[in-house]
């Protein structure tokens, strides 16, 4: 494992070292009092060292003798006396026990007893809690620690020489903290000096190239970080470690409720650039304009300890870089990487050097496992549990749907609810959503061992005075939203929502996490009452003379309440739409009651689950109800309806017809860059193919549809009337995640698209390859991601260029260029354009080799004008410029130098590409990546084309160098010169093309086209560029 070998020494020794070598290094900026208007104080390492020595001497003089190795409890105001006390205990030879002031009396007594601690140091702010402890246990001795600024006011205090640490300081305990007690009484967690060193190790751990860790001390090294973390908690200790070991000082929040206005003042006055904040504070701050504006000033915000509302996270990540981090008292920091995309704020990506293991649970979820390595340099957990060979964190995650290596935390393994039917679900996400309602203080989903889930809500009693039914109606929309993201068996019904009692507030941990087990015990009677309620939330009433259509209306209403997010058709299969076993039971109860009101003698099995499964649509159920009411339906002994042969045959035939409809092969295709010249002809060819059901045109312009119509009209393409039914124009951002498309649109394309034609690329021969990275190279990767995630593993046809092989050295490699993928850069023309296409080809080839993505590389040569009357080869390109200039100077070069006339008309080359697309469907499984050369296999002789030009205007046929010289003589071209002699704009191109003419220069390589000809009938029939085609172009140019 590639971790840094961190020297293990005590934190107090590090502070003393800094006092001597960098005394003015900032430790923190501390408020002078809870009222920040009184100002702030910069605390240096020299100050911290002096305060540590002050407390060390005070402990020895008042609390415990030197080197007696006692456990000393501390509970104080959340200020830096914690840091001084922890470091001082090490120097005097004791172990600090850090107790949360939020602990119950029972929890604190339990921790003191377990640690054998009878001595308690506290600040005056915690006097009430300590007095209660002393009253409950007379054996506890207590001392008040000196005031904060007495401890940190005397930098000239005499140095205190610490006790000599024994050999193997790594396993000596530096401090004791405790767990939060989510599932009962808290547990002691001893932290050794080796554990502390492991937290340093995580901060200096190497990361993959171009990446950084997610800890703020790595993302914003040396800059001020704002923190609210309590020092009795692991995150508070990490703040101290980061400041001492990573030179990243912190700004400490005053111990008072955080408001948007207070944070705004702190940020303005201290200039902190990053923050570590709990989710509850982030949610409160984000709710106001001032809060959002202040949060946006941070460069980086880390959060942890509890989930964050998805809506708030999605909004906040647009303002700053938000990042979830993971750590625990037992493990310390778990090394993850800063997200590459802001929108992945809620995902973890483990640093590969940390060697985390994601172990499947068999239900689509994974548990984070930490395996032991050869050393413990970064794994704090193996200092906590030195005998373990692996540590099962109990933290459960799901993988990102499209980005391998990203993981979303969904809860603790012990949060999982197992229903009586064996179905499991984790309720954490539901609870977070429901707690987002302003009237809900806390939400607990229950259901262990029950058939279905239920919900207990703790109200914000100050803002609610209504009754229980009104409250349930008020919060029902957000419960429905929570249900949308839950598995069917975990969804909540109105009848299974209960309210807390003001006299029994939910028990929580110091982090504010609800103690699920204790709440369930406290509300045992209420839960039993909740489960005894009827499930019949929806009721219908039908009359004996109701028609089948009347019943359909009623049944559809009931099904819609059970599947609120689905559009229910009369013949839709309700189980395909998501109706589960629980909902099937509920539906049966409602329908049974409705029919029994008319037919009291109705069998109890008339609407069993088997019956519902036998009539899986609104229409089928309604007709079944109609037949029951009119005595036409019978129930067999097993509770199944007896169906006559003709009805059975008709039902089976309908299924056959339903699932054979549309079996004739149809394709949905993404086409990028459709509004360009080649793109327009490609779209036209696709629309001529009856097997193409839909073309999604992805363009960077928002007016693509209008431009496409104009392009079709100008080129005389007649299929624009098919746009409405077969073409959908989408505004895309190729470098963005999900191609910049809305989630629902992107997901729709994932389901239907089987072919991608990537034609969008800028043509600029002056730019370096780096200028093509955004969005072009990024876009290739995004399309690969799309293909991997798509239902049909969409085949990518990358429209490349022969410039990717125009650096071919015929002396070294031979005269012919095979239709293959080349990794060598020396075959690529030395232009940014050619290099960018080469990189695009390599990305496609890699995706084929390692991800199974089918790809085809279309190396397109010179594209000429169309063969049709309408349309035109762009006059700004090199050959039309040559012709226009020759007309003006009345000279035409006798040769094109190194340029081979292996051109293909634009409408023809579009046909070749479509042929290849069709043929590749037949062999894409065997050949995952194939390259094709789209150049004319029958080059024309330039001399044979000269008469077609002479037909339109008189010219003198001259040596190419003479033609160049004639243009070079125009040393100061006017605008008029540039207009009628456009070759002046690209004179360097012509110099390069004509250089060495007549000097026996090496002939350009020949591009093999055998594979292309085998794949394309159009290519097989292709003729050389001739007099007629050139004459058509001349007429289009009107030269």
Q: For 360-414, write each residue's pLDDT tens digit.
A: 988 788 999 999 998 999 999 999 999 999 999 988 899 999 999 999 988 777 7
Q: What is the pLDDT of residue 155?
A: 66
Q: List for the chain the helix, strand, coil content (%; round to 5).
A: 45, 15, 40
Query: Rounded mean pLDDT of 846-858?
Result: 92
> Is the pLDDT at 43 greater than 90, yes or no?
yes
In 3D, which of 682, 732, 729, 738 has the Cα closest to residue 706?
729
**In angstroms, rounded to a whole number, what is the distance separating the alpha carbons of residues 383 and 379?**
8
Query: Rounded mean pLDDT of 32-52?
Result: 94
Residues 861, 872 contacting (CB under 8 angstroms): no
**In angstroms, rounded to a whole number, what is the distance separating the alpha carbons of residues 862 and 878?**
10
> Is the pLDDT at 451 greater than 80, yes or no?
no
Q: For 693-737, write each residue's pLDDT tens digit.
A: 999 999 988 888 889 988 998 898 876 666 777 899 999 999 888
What percent of the chain is predicted at pLDDT more than 70?
Answer: 92
> Is the pLDDT at 582 greater than 80, yes or no?
no
> 546 in helix, strand or coil?
coil
Q: What is the pLDDT of residue 508?
A: 84
3-state SS string for 751-818? HHCCEEEECCCCCCCCCCHHHHHHHHHHHHHHHHHHHHHCCCCCEEEEEEEHHHCCCCCHHHHCCEEC
3-state SS string for 403-431? CCCCEEEEEEHHHCEECCCCCEECCHHHH
What percent of the chain is predicted at pLDDT more than 90?
Answer: 58
Residues 677, 906 contacting (CB under 8 angstroms): yes
Q: For 891-931, write each residue's pLDDT tens digit.
A: 999 999 889 999 999 999 999 999 999 999 988 888 999 99
**In angstroms, rounded to a whole number, what is the distance separating the alpha carbons of residues 296 and 565?**
35
Which are the contacts of 678, defined by CB distance < 8 A and separation ≥ 6?
759, 799, 860, 863, 906, 909, 910
Q: What is the pLDDT of residue 189?
A: 95
pLDDT band (50, 70, 90) for residue 46:
very high
Q: What is the pLDDT of residue 753?
A: 95
> Is the pLDDT at 44 greater than 80, yes or no?
yes
Q: State the DSSP H helix or E strand holding residue 692, giving kind and residue range, or none if neither.
A: strand 692-699
Query: Rounded mean pLDDT of 775-783?
Result: 93
Q: Which residues face 635 on adjacent strands?
A: 641
The torsion angle over the Cα atoms of residues 356, 362, 363 and 366, rounded to 10 degrees, is: -10
CB neighbourhood size of 571 (10 A): 11
- The residue with greater pLDDT, 735 or 613, is 735
Q: For 314-360, write each residue's pLDDT tens digit.
A: 999 999 999 999 998 899 999 999 999 999 999 999 999 999 999 99
Q: What is the pLDDT of residue 278?
A: 86
Q: For 866-899, write each residue's pLDDT tens digit.
A: 999 899 999 999 999 999 999 999 999 999 988 9
CA angle 30, 36, 39 (to 5 degrees): 65
- The residue with greater pLDDT, 605 or 508, is 508
Which are the contacts of 813, defined by CB distance < 8 A and separation ≥ 6?
827, 1005
Q: What is the pLDDT of residue 722?
A: 67
Query: Rounded mean pLDDT of 967-976?
Result: 90
Crossing angle for the helix pair 81-92 and 11-21, to the nearest 10 degrees: 110
Residues 435, 443 contacting (CB under 8 angstroms): yes
pLDDT band (50, 70, 90) for residue 418:
low
pLDDT band (50, 70, 90) for residue 662:
low
Q: Which residues face 1006 on adjacent strands?
A: 816
CA angle 726, 732, 734 (to 5 degrees): 125
Q: Which residues face 459 on adjacent strands?
A: 440
CB neighbourhood size of 257 (10 A): 8
Q: Which residues face 226 on adjacent strands?
A: 251, 275
> Is the pLDDT at 144 greater than 60, yes or no?
yes
> Is the pLDDT at 640 greater than 50, yes or no?
no
Which are the contacts of 992, defined by CB distance < 8 A and separation ≥ 6?
none
pLDDT band (50, 70, 90) for residue 2:
very low
Residues 975, 982 contacting (CB under 8 angstroms): no
Which are the contacts of 793, defined by CB distance < 8 A and separation ≥ 6?
787, 852, 853, 854
Per the listing, tokens 């080839």 go with 845
Which are the contacts of 517, defined by CB distance < 8 A and separation ≥ 6?
183, 184
Instruction: Identify the weakest region by mean pLDDT among 185-199, 583-597, 859-873.
Output: 583-597
> Is the pLDDT at 429 greater than 90, yes or no?
no
**In angstroms, rounded to a whole number, what is the distance separating the alpha carbons of residues 87 and 73?**
14
pLDDT band (50, 70, 90) for residue 488:
low
**In angstroms, rounded to a whole number, what is the distance separating the alpha carbons of residues 44 and 249?**
9
Q: What is the pLDDT of residue 721?
A: 67
All domains of the chain in start order, with CATH? 12-164 (3.40.50.980), 196-409 (3.40.50.12780), 416-531 (3.30.300.30), 548-654 (1.10.1200.10), 667-879+913-918+926-932 (3.40.50.720), 887-908+919-925+933-1037 (no CATH)
Query: Rounded mean pLDDT of 22-46?
Result: 94
In 3D, which of 616, 613, 591 has the Cα closest to residue 602?
591
**Sheet of 26-31, strands arranged across:** 40-44, 26-31, 250-252, 225-227, 274-276, 300-303, 321-324
Query: Rounded mean pLDDT of 503-531?
Result: 85
> Is the pLDDT at 166 greater than 90, yes or no?
no
> Is the pLDDT at 148 greater than 90, yes or no?
yes
> 333 in helix, strand or coil?
strand
- Report the greatest alpha carbon distance in the chain: 118
> Is the pLDDT at 971 greater than 50, yes or no?
yes
Residues 404, 847 contacting (CB under 8 angstroms): no
> Is the pLDDT at 1001 greater than 60, yes or no?
no
Q: State the DSSP H helix or E strand holding residue 712, giving kind and residue range, or none if neither.
A: helix 704-715
Provide the terminal-to-terminal Cα distance of the chain, rounded to the nearest Å: 70
Contacts 24+ apart (CB under 8 A), 359-366: 361/396, 363/424, 364/398, 365/396, 365/397, 365/398, 365/410, 365/426, 366/396, 366/397, 366/398, 366/399, 366/407
> Is the pLDDT at 643 greater than 60, yes or no?
no
> Is the pLDDT at 592 greater than 90, yes or no?
no
Residues 1007, 1011, 1015, 1017: is their CA dihedral positive or negative? positive
Residues 235, 239, 242, 244: is their CA dihedral positive or negative? negative
**Average pLDDT over all residues of the chain:** 88
The torsion angle over the Cα atoms of residues 861, 864, 868 and 870, rounded to 10 degrees, is: 130
pLDDT band (50, 70, 90) for residue 1:
very low
In this structure, what are the phi and psi dihedrals at residue 283, rounded to the nearest 5 degrees?
A: -65, -40
Residues 795, 920 contacting (CB under 8 angstroms): yes
> Is the pLDDT at 799 greater than 90, yes or no?
yes
**In angstroms, rounded to a whole number, what is the distance separating the alpha carbons of residues 167 and 193?**
12
Instruction: Identify the weakest region by mean pLDDT among 123-137, 263-277, 571-585.
Output: 571-585
DSSP 387: T
Which are the contacts of 131, defined by CB distance < 8 A and separation ≥ 6?
none
pLDDT band (50, 70, 90) for residue 69:
confident
List of E strands, 284-353: 300-303, 321-324, 327-328, 332-333, 347-348
Query: Rounded mean pLDDT of 268-295?
Result: 91
């Amino acid at each position: 494992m590639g971790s840094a070998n961190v020297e293990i020494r005590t934190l107090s020794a590090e502070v003393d070292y800094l006092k001597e070598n960098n005394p003015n290094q900032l430790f923190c900026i501390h408020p002078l009092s809870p009222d920040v208007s009184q100002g702030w104080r910069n605390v240096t390492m020299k100050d911290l060292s002096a305060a540590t020595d002050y407390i060390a001497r005070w402990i020895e003089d008042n609390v415990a003798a030197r080197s007696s190795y006692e456990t000393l409890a501390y509970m104080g105001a959340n200020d830096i006396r914690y840091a001084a006390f922890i470091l001082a205990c090490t120097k005097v030879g004791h172990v600090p026990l850090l107790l949360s002031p939020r602990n119950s009396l029972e929890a604190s007594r339990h921790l003191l007893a377990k640690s054998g601690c009878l001595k308690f140091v506290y600040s005056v702010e915690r006097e009430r809690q300590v007095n209660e402890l002393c009253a409950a246990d007379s054996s506890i001795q207590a001392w008040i620690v000196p005031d904060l600024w007495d401890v940190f006011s005397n930098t000239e205090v005499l140095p205190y020489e610490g006790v000599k640490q024994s050999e193997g300081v790594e396993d000596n305990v530096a401090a004791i903290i405790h767990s939060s007690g989510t599932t009962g009484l808290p547990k002691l967690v001893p932290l050794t000096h080796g554990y502390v060193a492991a937290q340093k190790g995580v901060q200096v751990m190497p990361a993959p190239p171009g990446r950084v860790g997610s800890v703020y001390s790595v993302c914003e090294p040396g800059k001020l970080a704002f923190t609210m973390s309590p020092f009795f908690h692991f995150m508070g200790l990490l703040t101290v470690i980061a400041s001492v070991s990573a030179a990243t000082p912190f700004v400490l929040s005053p111990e008072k409720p955080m408001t948007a206005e207070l944070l705004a003042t702190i940020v303005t006055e201290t200039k902190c650039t990053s923050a570590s904040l709990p989710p509850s504070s982030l949610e409160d701050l984000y709710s106001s304009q001032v809060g959002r504006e202040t949060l946006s000033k941070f460069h980086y915000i880390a959060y942890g300890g509890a989930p964050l509302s998805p809506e708030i996270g999605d909004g906040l990540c647009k303002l700053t870089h938000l990042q979830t981090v993971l750590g625990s008292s037992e493990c310390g920091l778990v090394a993850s990487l800063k997200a590459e995309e802001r929108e992945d704020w809620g995902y973890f990506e483990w640093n590969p050097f940390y060697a985390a293991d994601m172990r499947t649970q068999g239900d689509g979820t994974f548990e984070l496992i930490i395996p032991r390595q050869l050393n413990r340099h970064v794994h704090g957990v193996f200092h906590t549990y030195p005998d373990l060979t692996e540590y099962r964190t109990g933290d459960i995650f799901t993988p990102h749907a499209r980005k391998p290596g990203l993981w979303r935390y969904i809860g603790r393994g012990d949060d999982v609810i197992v229903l009586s039917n064996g179905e499991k679900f984790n309720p954490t996400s539901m609870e977070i959503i429901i707690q987002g309602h302003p009237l809900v203080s806390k939400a607990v989903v229950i259901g262990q061992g029950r058939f279905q889930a239920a919900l207990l809500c703790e109200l914000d009693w100050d803002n609610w005075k209504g009754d229980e039914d009104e409250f349930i109606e008020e919060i029902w929309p957000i419960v429905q939203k929570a249900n949308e993201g839950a598995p069917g068996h975990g969804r909540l019904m109105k009848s299974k929502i209960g309210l807390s009692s003001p006299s029994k507030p939910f028990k929580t941990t110091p982090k504010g996490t609800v103690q699920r087990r204790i709440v369930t015990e406290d509300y045992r009677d209420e839960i039993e009452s909740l489960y005894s309620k009827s499930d019949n939330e929806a009721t219908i009433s039908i009359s004996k003379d109701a028609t089948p259509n009347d019943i359909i209306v009623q049944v559809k209403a009931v099904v819609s309440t059970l599947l609120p997010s689905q559009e229910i058709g009369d013949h839709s299969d309700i189980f395909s739409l998501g109706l589960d076993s629980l909902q099937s039971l509920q539906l049966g109860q409602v329908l049974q009651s409705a029919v029994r009101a008319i037919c009291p003698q109705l069998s109890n099995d008339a609407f069993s689950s088997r019956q519902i499964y036998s009539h899986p649509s609104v229409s089928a159920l309604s007709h079944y109800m109609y037949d029951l009411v009119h005595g036409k339906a019978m129930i067999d002994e097993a509770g199944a309806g007896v169906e006559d042969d003709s009805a059975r045959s008709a039902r089976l035939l309908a299924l056959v017809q339903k699932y054979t409809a549309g079996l004739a092969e149809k394709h949905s295709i993404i086409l990028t860059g459709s509004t360009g010249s080649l793109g327009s002809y490609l779209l036209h060819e696709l629309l001529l193919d009856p097997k193409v059901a839909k073309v999604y045109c992805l363009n960077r312009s928002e007016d693509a549809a209008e431009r496409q119509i104009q392009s079709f009209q100008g080129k005389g393409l007649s299929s624009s009337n098919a746009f409405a039914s077969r073409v959908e124009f989408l505004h895309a951002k190729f470098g963005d995640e999900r191609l910049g498309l809305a989630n629902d649109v992107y997901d729709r394309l994932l389901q239907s698209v089987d072919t991608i034609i990537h034609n969008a690329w800028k043509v600029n021969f002056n730019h370096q390859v780096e200028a093509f990275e955004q969005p072009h190279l990024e876009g290739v990767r995004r399309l690969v991601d799309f293909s991997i995630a798509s239902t049909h593993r969409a085949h990518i046809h990358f429209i490349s260029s022969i410039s990717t092989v125009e650096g071919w050295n015929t002396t070294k490699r031979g005269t012919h260029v095979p239709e293959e993928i080349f990794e060598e850069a020396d075959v690529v023309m030395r232009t940014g354009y050619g290099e960018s296409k080469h990189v695009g080809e390599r990305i496609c080839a890699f995706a084929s080799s390692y991800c199974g993505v089918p790809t085809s590389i279309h190396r397109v040569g010179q594209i000429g004008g169309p063969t049709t009357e309408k349309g035109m080869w762009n006059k700004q390109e090199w050959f039309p410029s040559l012709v226009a200039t020759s007309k003006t100077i009345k000279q035409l070069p006798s040769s094109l130098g190194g340029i081979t006339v292996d051109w293909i008309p634009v409408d023809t080359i579009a046909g070749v590409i479509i042929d290849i697309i069709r043929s590749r469907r037949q062999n894409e499984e065997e050949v995952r990546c194939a390259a094709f050369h789209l150049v004319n296999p029958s080059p024309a002789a330039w001399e044979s084309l000269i008469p077609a030009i002479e037909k339109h205007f008189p010219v003198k046929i001259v040596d190419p160098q003479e033609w160049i010289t004639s243009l070079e003589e125009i040393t100061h071209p006017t605008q008029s010169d540039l207009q009628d002699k456009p070759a002046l704009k690209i004179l360097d191109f012509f110099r390069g093309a004509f250089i060495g003419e007549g000097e026996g220069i090496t002939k350009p390589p020949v591009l093999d086209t055998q594979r292309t000809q085998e794949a394309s009938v159009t290519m097989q029939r292709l003729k050389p560029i001739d007099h007629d085609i050139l004459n058509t172009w001349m007429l289009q140019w009107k030269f």
